[in-house]
């Protein structure tokens, strides 16, 4: 089996409600670049990426196009050989951009492997859970929502069957205003329902130490990305000083950086984004580093891929439920009566592109 051709498509996926991202971009759709990687026996593997800001996506699409052309003629099952070639060709871009490119290719290779073997990706990875994985709702409760909207949204998430949710704080000058957001969510879901908070790197250590006691008051399960991703010393201080789990890692653009995080004791729960660590293979390496330090990991975004990681990686305890790519596919991530995400059983990732949406995609 050889890679013989590929196609790049662009599409804006509408969102149910506009929101302001942690980086300050207000958006009503999520722009995606989609890779269709094809083999000589007719198998098509899918890879994709997205971003709030459209600034770097044209460059990403061009890079994916170049790399997919470069690996034509190679065996898609030889992922390590392919990755070595990609690494040699992209090393001059430095960390970050090359990981993004590698991830999209890596996803497509795994989708091809699953379809060639007529088995879902999670079984190729070894498999631990065959039917469902723990998940939490992350697709609502944004930083620009009012207190009333937060309370209504939190109650809706619970009523939808989710067993945990995450909301955002960090936009208020007064610590007591941040407390009010935690209070609104807690009162909406009751005393025992797990809730988590995301800051998106909006604070420094001093600000985190000021606000965290108010979050602890309302039994917040974890505090996510409170400070800059590079401040491992600061994260170590927060881990030692606070009675709330410190979660971060989604913005680390190389799986090797998780070794520094765990060596410095700078995280309680590591969050890994498969797009940011070069794909599924990078996620597995990052998770193994954390497992060696007895740290659990959770996924970041892309539940269509992450559900397979949650079903196979031993120390992956939660999959993030995020709807940003749902419109891209005919079938979307679903939860069962127990509030767990259902693991697809179809070959590969078990997703089918919404070709009608792609036909209405972005034109040159």
Question: Looking at the structure, do residues 44 and 98 belong to the same domain, yes or no?
Answer: yes
Does 354 fall in a domain? no
Please provide the average confidence, as pLDDT, over all residues in the chain.
95
**CA-wise closest residue to 6 among 61, 57, 86:** 61
**Measured CA distances, 116 to 67, 76, 351 (Å):** 22, 10, 15
Mean of pLDDT values over 267-295: 98
What DSSP designation does 136 have?
E
**Measured CA distances, 171 to 23, 86, 144, 184, 361 (Å):** 12, 40, 8, 16, 34
Question: Looking at the structure, do residues 279 and 175 belong to the same domain, yes or no?
Answer: yes
CATH at residue 203: 3.20.20.120
Is the pLDDT confidence value at 333 over 90? no
At 141 the pLDDT is 94
pLDDT, tens digit, for every residue of 172-222?
999 999 999 999 999 999 999 999 999 999 999 999 999 999 999 999 999
Is the pLDDT confidence value at 38 over 90? yes
Does 353 fall in a domain? no
**CA-wise closest residue to 219 among 192, 184, 188, 246:** 192
Within 8 A by CB and 6+ apart from 332, the residues are 323, 326
Does 351 fall in a domain? no
**CA-wise closest residue to 321 among 154, 49, 136, 50:** 136
Question: Looking at the structure, do residues 320 and 187 belong to the same domain, yes or no?
Answer: yes
pLDDT band at 363 (very low <50, low <70, confident <90, very high): low
Question: Looking at the structure, do residues 220 and 326 belong to the same domain, yes or no?
Answer: yes
Dihedral of CA atoms 176, 182, 186, 189 in degrees, nearest 10, equals 140
Question: Looking at the structure, do residues 290 and 205 belong to the same domain, yes or no?
Answer: yes
Question: Looking at the structure, do residues 109 and 225 belong to the same domain, yes or no?
Answer: no
pLDDT, tens digit, for every residue of 101-148?
999 999 999 999 999 999 999 999 999 988 999 999 999 999 999 999
CATH at residue 62: 3.30.390.10
Is the pLDDT confidence value at 364 over 60? no
At 129 the pLDDT is 87
Does 249 fall in a domain? yes
Does 200 fall in a domain? yes
At 269 the pLDDT is 98
Largest CA distance in the chain: 61
pLDDT band at 340 (very low <50, low <70, confident <90, very high): very high
Does 350 fall in a domain? no
Final residue before a domain boundary, out of 51, 85, 118: 118
Does 361 fall in a domain? no
Within 8 A by CB and 6+ apart from 337, the residues are 161
Question: Looking at the structure, do residues 209 and 266 belong to the same domain, yes or no?
Answer: yes
Domain of 212 in residue numbering reads as 123-342
Number of folded domains in the chain?
2
At 165 the pLDDT is 98
Does 364 fall in a domain? no
Within 8 A by CB and 6+ apart from 304, the residues are 325, 329, 333, 349, 351
The proportion of the chain whose per-residue pLDDT surpasses 70, expressed as a percent, equals: 99
Question: Looking at the structure, do residues 7 and 72 belong to the same domain, yes or no?
Answer: yes
Mean of pLDDT values over 297-322: 98
pLDDT band at 306 (very low <50, low <70, confident <90, very high): very high
Question: Looking at the structure, do residues 102 and 128 belong to the same domain, yes or no?
Answer: no
By the 10 Å C-beta count (0-12 exposed, 13-18 middle, 19+ buried), 219 is classed as: middle
Question: Looking at the structure, do residues 168 and 275 belong to the same domain, yes or no?
Answer: yes
Question: Looking at the structure, do residues 114 and 134 belong to the same domain, yes or no?
Answer: no
Question: Is the pTM of the predicted complex or chain greater than 0.75?
Answer: yes
Question: Looking at the structure, do residues 201 and 320 belong to the same domain, yes or no?
Answer: yes
At 25 the pLDDT is 72
What DSSP designation does 329 have?
B
Burial of 122-133, coded b for 16+ CB within 10 Å and e otherwise, reads bbbbeeebeebb
């Amino acid at each position: 089996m050889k890679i013989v051709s590929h196609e790049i498509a662009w599409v804006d996926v509408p969102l149910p409600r506009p929101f302001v991202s942690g980086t300050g971009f207000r958006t009503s759709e999520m722009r995606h670049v989609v890779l269709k990687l094809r083999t000589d026996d007719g198998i098509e593997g899918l890879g994709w990426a997205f971003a709030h800001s459209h600034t770097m996506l044209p460059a990403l699409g061009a890079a994916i196009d170049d790399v997919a052309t470069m690996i034509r003629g190679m065996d898609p099952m030889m992922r390590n050989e392919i990755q070595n070639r990609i690494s040699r060709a992209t090393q001059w871009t430095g960390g970050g951009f090359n990981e993004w490119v590698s991830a999209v290719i890596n996803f497509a290779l795994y989708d091809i492997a699953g379809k060639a073997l007529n088995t879902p990706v999670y079984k190729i990875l070894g498999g631990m859970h065959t039917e469902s994985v723990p998940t939490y709702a992350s697709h609502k409760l944004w930083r620009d929502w009012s207190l009333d909207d937060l309370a209504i949204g939190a109650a809706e998430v619970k009523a939808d069957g989710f067993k945990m949710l995450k909301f955002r704080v960090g936009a208020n000058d007064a610590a007591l205003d941040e407390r009010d957001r935690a209070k609104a969510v807690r009162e909406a879901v009751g005393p025992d329902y797990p809730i988590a908070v995301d800051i998106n790197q909006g604070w420094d250590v001093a600000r985190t130490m000021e606000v965290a006691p108010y979050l602890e008051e309302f039994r917040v399960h974890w505090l996510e990305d409170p400070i800059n991703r590079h401040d491992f010393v600061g994260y170590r201080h927060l881990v030692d000083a606070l009675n709330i789990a410190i979660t971060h890692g989604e913005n680390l653009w190389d799986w090797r950086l998780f070794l520094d995080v765990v060596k410095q004791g700078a995280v309680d729960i590591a969050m890994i984004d498969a797009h940011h660590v070069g794909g599924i293979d990078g996620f597995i390496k990052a998770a193994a580093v954390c497992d060696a330090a007895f740290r659990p990991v959770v996924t970041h975004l892309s539940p269509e891929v992450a559900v397979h990681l949650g079903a196979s990686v031993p120390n992956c305890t939660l999959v993030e439920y995020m709807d940003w790519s749902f419109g891209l596919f005919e079938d979307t991530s679903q939860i069962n009566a127990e509030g767990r995400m259902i693991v697809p059983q179809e070959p590969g990732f078990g997703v089918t592109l919404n070709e009608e949406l792609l036909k209405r995609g972005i034109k040159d």
